[in-house]
Amino acid sequence: MNKYLDVKPEVAEAIAAGKPVVALESTIISHGMPYPQNAQTALSVEQIIRDNGAVPATIAIIGGRLKAGLTPEEIEYFGKKGPKIAKASRRDLAILCARGEDGATTVTTTMMIADMAGIRVFATGGVGGVHRGAETTMDISADLEELASTPVMVVCAGCKSILDLGLTLEYLETNGVPVIGYGTETLPAFYTRESPFRVDYRMDTPEEIAKAFRIKNEMGLRGGMLVTNPIPAEYSMDPAVINKAIDDAVEEARQKGIHGKETTPFLLARIKDITGGDSLDSNIQLVYNNARLAARIAKAYCEG
């Protein structure tokens, strides 16, 4: 066990007993929405995972310690501190630990810490990818590199629609990461159920997904698997409305010179403002939906 890692006793016991565990990120708490909605949403996601037969493990860095599983009090702490907490990607982990600071884990660092703890399934909202204009800016999310190297399955609502979806799929293909569509042949685009792009494989049951991931790991193949789960139809946004909001936000970010890890938080906040909060409501519901599916996949993975 990594000496910088603390595994919550409930999580450690479940892993040791071969019971299903689902990792959750903490950036959605600190940078995803205001307090107290952020803490309440995080606790609701954990309860959904429990209700579907698995143990939740929210991942974070607190006081320089890597945490696999937070207490309700720690989630409340993260919610209150909010954006004052550093957003931590792979390059930040050692520095934050050395300084004894807090860090909110992205998809990348959640995968890393989950892997250290022995957790194989992770539920999030959407993953990062190749940003629009990356052919000149080289703005490519570290999430894609982590998916290529770390054996953790990520269940999401597709790639964030602020990205270049076509280039993101090309990048994943180059790195050997299978993109699975849960009940769909097209790539979900976060706020909407469909996009013009196709996934690699359609799978219709958690058991089928779990079996493929189990075999991948038994073969010793490196990297993870991306499972894309469309947002429930009743919460899906009008593509014309959300795409215009995204285009307007992207242009505003360009004019203001916003780039790097500040890009996604800025764009999501502006899209929320432009849509009158509808995008935030959709975001919460798709996270709930992904948590349900991830718990069912984790359960099938352990039972297999």
Q: Catalytic site residues? A: 25, 160
Length of the chain, in residues: 304
The dihedral of CA 99, 147, 271, 294: what is its sign? negative
**Cis geometry, peptide bond prior to residue 36 (ω within 30 degrees of 0):** yes
In whole angstroms, give the CA distance from residue 224 to residue 240: 33
In whole angstroms, give the CA distance from residue 292 to residue 261: 29
In whole angstroms, give the CA distance from residue 177 to residue 145: 10
Q: For residue 11, which amino acid is it?
A: V
Q: Crossing angle of helices 206-218/278-303, nearest 10°?
A: 60
Exposed/middle/buried for residue 266 (C-beta within 10 Å: 0-12, 13-18, 19+):
middle
